[in-house]
Amino acid sequence: MDSFFQFFVAVLAGVATADLFVRGWNGFLECSAAFILFFQKKIPASSIFSRLNSTLPITVLSFLALVLCFKVYFSVLGFGRTEMEQLGYFLGAMPRTGYYLVHAGKMIDSMFKS
pLDDT confidence band for 113 (50 / 70 / 90)? confident
pLDDT in tens, 4-38: 889 999 999 999 999 999 999 999 999 999 999 99
CA angle 68, 92, 22 (to 5 degrees): 55
Q: What is the 8-class DSSP label of residue 79?
A: -
**Stretch (H or E) spanning 106:** helix 83-111
**Radius of gyration for the alpha carbons in the chain, expressed in angstroms and rounded:** 18
pLDDT tens digits for range 56-78? 999 999 999 999 999 999 999 88
pLDDT in tens, 85-100: 999 999 999 999 999 9
pLDDT at 94: 96
Q: Contact at 8 Å (CB) between 98 and 21?
A: no
